[in-house]
Chain A
Amino acid sequence: MTLIRRISTLGAAGLLGAAALLAGCATPAHKAAATDAEYLLTVTRPGLLHVIDMKTDRIARSCEVPGKFGSGALVPAPDGRHAFVLGNLWEDVYGFELETCKLVFSARQSEGDVTVKTVQSLAVSADGSELYTVQNPVRRGADRFEVLPPRLAVYRIADGLDAKPVRSFPVKRRITKIAATAGGEVILGGADVEAIDVRSGALRTVSALASWERGPRWLTPDAFAMHSQGEHLNEYVMPYVTAKFADDKQDMASAQWWWGMSRVDLATGKAETREIFPFEFVIFSLLADPRDRNILYGAFNTLSKHDIAKRETLKVVELDHTYYSLQLSRDASRIYVGGAGSTISIHDSATLEKIGMIQLPGDMSTADVRVAYKRHESR
């Protein structure tokens, strides 16, 4: 409850100096020099975006995120040179040039008596021109709160500092992670996985999860994701937990428990939804190996490796504390496990053996760990 209490005690955040104008702000296609740079990005309290060089596993630079800590949610732009951070109690978005820490974009979502919270929902369009957030507004009247319908907000990144949404469309409640497809949709991770057309606002169901109709032999899945789990493969992963009952009586004790996932191909916007391996322990984030898309890694209290073609767990190792998210080096040889503390634990992806550690100057809390490099496939 402390986090909830903290984010509910709103305060005005000192925002942007007038001097911080958008001179030379990068828009999509960034060229040459930095193409091969590979950065691990994360955020720590009280408000630093760390740019970690994955060749040396050292912090190259740390960019100051204005205002109070957000959730640490962040999204790299497809150019590999910019990233956007959710700051100020889950309300504001700040965009940085990673080579210089220059603040090139900001959007203050709350306005007047309407407080807007974004629960991890940040995405950048495949062409790098637009930023998407899911806004959860609440009007704070003189003597009452009024919950307003949530919406997808579309920002033009080139608008730079103090940007305002250029379009917005209604969406369902309780959306967390989102991702942009190549075809002009944003995948919305909520009770079901949906896609919204960012021009028309048209919604379609990508994977029916909470509303699946599998009958009484299957437990309605608990689908939830806080962190990105697939951009290196241009995919969006929404894990879920379900149970298969022996009969229609739905006896939990004799049920078979399964992990499943909705796996959305961001090139096509199509999803594959199925059970992937037995539920034996909690996993907070799942990530596929680019060398074999049937091999998945999972992290929380353990780091695990699974073969979803065989629906098997291959290996599990204990971690030294709880972690929330994980990423792979570009060559997939190393797993970086982060969140929920001030250390990023580095593991050999073949053996899951711990091979290194990055000590950060603060707590990552619920922050994302993301990898930024130029996305050739998104061109």
Chain B
Amino acid sequence: MNKEKSITSIVGAGLLALAAAVGVPAPAAAADGAALLAANCLSCHSALGSTISRVEGQRKSPEGWQMTITRMQEQHGAKISPQDKRALIKYLADTRGLAPTEAAPWRYLLEHDNNRVEALDDTYKDMCARCHSGARFALQRRSEGEWSLLMHSHIGLNPTLEFHSLARDRAWFQHAVGEIAPALARDFALDAKAWTAWQAAPRVTLAGSWRITGYLPGKGEFEGRMTASAAGEDRFELRLEGRYADGGALAGSGVATVYTGYEWRGSVDIDGVALRQVLAADARATTMKGRQHLAASRRVGGELVAVRESAAPRLVAVMPGHLRRGETAELTLVGSGLDGAVSLGSGVRVLEVVARSADRVVVRARAEGGDGLRDVAVGAARGKGLLAVYERVARVDVEPANAIARVGGPGDAQMEKVGVAYRALGWAAGRDGKAGTADDLRLGYLPVQWSIEAADEEAEKARDQDFVGRIGADGVFVPGDAGPNPARPKSLGNTGRVKVVAAVGEAGERVEGRGSLDVAVPDFVQRALD
């Protein structure tokens, strides 16, 4: 099977990702930012010291500022060059951004990891998250006046908004201005200690050598090294090398820009596939965590973790991270400066060291003993709970548990398909022997058999599972074509509701997990943040 084809066949619009392209000049330094703001914005906004009207009452993520400027261009006729736009986004995110703790609960939206049910205060569910994600506003900070003006903009830009179902059952606009704006000003306040502290905190460069681990749909788990060389203020050239879990080599290069001191946005080409990285560095700049997705389809991606390398030996992962009792399997211990004896924890015997280098040690091992997490060590490098030993898989969680795919194509005039990349997370039952309880033992992601079935009786009647699309052996769901389908009642399109089934184990021991998948119509409005 051609893996690259399988991941890139789900292309969608990737043009909106905020990532520095090779060859684009480095953004202007912060000192120039105020001048750029004045030069590009004062034909409509008024000057307020070093800032301008409207902007002075707001802080947001780099993508938030990107959306703002894009709206100024598309809706209000602003003429801003691509270079100035990049520099303005950088300047605004640096000077009017979010502290790491402010963005932390909502990072999934920045990462475009949208297939999830958001945890939102009831106040905002119907009023706001009926049309867009909750994270979209939670990744902004405004004064009450600015939150209020945002409500005016909503009606100005979307005049039918207050007529929608779940809006017309209340005096939407009065409620938005009178109650929601003050609530937002309280919950997402412009002035915050976290932001003041983050602005004052010393900046640590993210240049250096990073040990990376992650997952790419259609390719699997990988590990490697990413070297970031400074190439201007907050700008880096990247080189990547490593290998996939199946032993295949991984090589790539790219660039990254860091916004607000910690928001890493990388644009890399790995083995001919264009990818985007959305990571957040921790306060000491020793670890970056986030997601890497296809440039052409931002829904298709997987986690990416980068751990800064230093002189000290370090163990970052065991791949795979689970070993069934009584079975012999090959495990790869990933880290840097790995030297010395390998220990896989109590009851796990290393039968053979198959290969070893300072970066990785491949062993054949056999597990005994009870279910549980084992601490792993290679010489002085230690990793707590990196290996799960288990007897049987008791539960499989389909991730994402709730997802939306979108039909698309065929043909250039149509919207591209938006697929879903699935993984199956395995669990052992834990001490109580019951699956689905708090003491379940997380085993990590497992290879499973994927299939789809109708979501319920009504979906079965309409044979949704026959029309909505297909899921591949690699867990990538590719939706069907857009447009009316004469084979369906009322020429219904290939939309529908299905369950995605992950099955593991032989007959008699078979364990299944299910996720809910809605295959919907194309989303015709493309935005930086949904």
Using a CB–CB cutoff of 8 Å, the interface residues on chain A facing chain B are 1-5, 7-9, 90, 115, 117, 119, 136, 138, 140, 142-147, 173-174, 176, 191, 210, 220, 222, 224, 301, 318-322
Contacts and interface: CB of A to CB of B under 8 A. Distances in A.
B491 interface: yes
Interface residues of B, number: 34
A172 B131 CA distance: 24
Contacts of B3: none
Contact of A90 (B159, B165, B171): B159
11 contacts: A1-B524, A1-B525, A136-B159, A138-B152, A145-B155, A145-B157, A147-B155, A173-B162, A173-B173, A224-B165, A321-B491
Given A5-B525, A145-B149, A145-B156, A222 B169 contact: yes
Given A7-B159, A8-B157, A143-B54, A2 B169 contact: no
Interface string B144-187: 00000101110111111111010011011110000000000000
Interface of B: 44-46, 53-54, 74-75, 131, 149, 151-153, 155-163, 165, 168-169, 171-174, 489-491, 523-525
Nearest to B153: A145
Given A146-B152, A174-B168, A222-B165, A119 B45 contact: no
Contact of B162 (A3, A90, A140, A174): A174
B169 A220 contact: yes
B524 A2 contact: yes
A147 B152 contact: yes
A119 B163 contact: yes
B54 A176 contact: no
A117 B174 CA distance: 18
Given A143-B54, A191-B171, A322-B490, A4 B160 contact: yes
5 smallest beta-carbon distances between A and B, as pairs: A145-B156, A117-B159, A145-B152, A138-B156, A142-B44
B169 A210 contact: yes
A146 B162 CA distance: 15
Contacts of B525: 1-2, 5
A4 B491 contact: no
A224 B163 contact: yes
Contacts of B158: 4, 8
Of A5, A147, A210, A321, chain B has the most CB atoms within 10 Å of the CB of A147
B153 A3 contact: no
A173 B45 CA distance: 29
A220 B168 CA distance: 11
B178 to A, nearest CB: 13
B428 to A, nearest CB: 37
Contact of A140 (B156, B173, B523): B156
Nearest to A9: B75
Contacts of B152: 138, 144-147
Given A138-B155, A321-B490, A321-B491, A144 B162 contact: no
Contacts of B75: 8-9
Nearest to A219: B169
B490 A320 contact: yes
Nearest to B156: A145
Contacts of B161: 4
A243 to B, nearest CB: 13
Contact of A224 (B159, B168, B174): B168
Of B53, B156, B158, B490, chain A has the most CB atoms within 10 Å of the CB of B156
Given A5-B525, A8-B157, A119-B163, A144 B168 contact: no
A246 B366 CA distance: 62
A263 to B, nearest CB: 20
A145 B131 CA distance: 20
A196 B464 CA distance: 49
A220 B166 CA distance: 12
Contacts of A146: 152
Given A142-B44, A191-B171, A8 B490 contact: no
Contacts of B131: 1
A137 B504 CA distance: 60
Contacts of B172: 173-174
B162 A301 contact: no
Given A138-B155, A174-B168, A301 B490 contact: yes
Nearest to B149: A144
A4 B489 CA distance: 28
A4 B524 CA distance: 11
Contacts of B149: 144-145
Nearest to A140: B156
A138 B44 contact: no
A321 B523 CA distance: 21
A138 B162 CA distance: 14
B346 to A, nearest CB: 51
B279 to A, nearest CB: 30
Contacts of A119: 159-160, 163
Contact of B44 (A7, A143, A222, A301): A143
Contacts of B157: 4, 8, 145
A205 to B, nearest CB: 15
A174 B163 contact: yes
Contacts of A220: 169
Nearest to B527: A1
Of A3, A8, A143, chain B has the most CB atoms within 10 Å of the CB of A143
A223 to B, nearest CB: 8
A319 B489 CA distance: 10
B524 A191 contact: no
Given A144-B54, A145-B155, A147-B152, A3 B168 contact: no
B156 A191 contact: no
A262 B27 CA distance: 61
A191 B168 contact: yes
B45 A147 contact: no
B160 A3 contact: yes
Nearest to A136: B159
Of B159, B161, B523, chain A has the most CB atoms within 10 Å of the CB of B159
Of B75, B168, B174, B490, chain A has the most CB atoms within 10 Å of the CB of B168
Contacts of A173: 162, 171-174
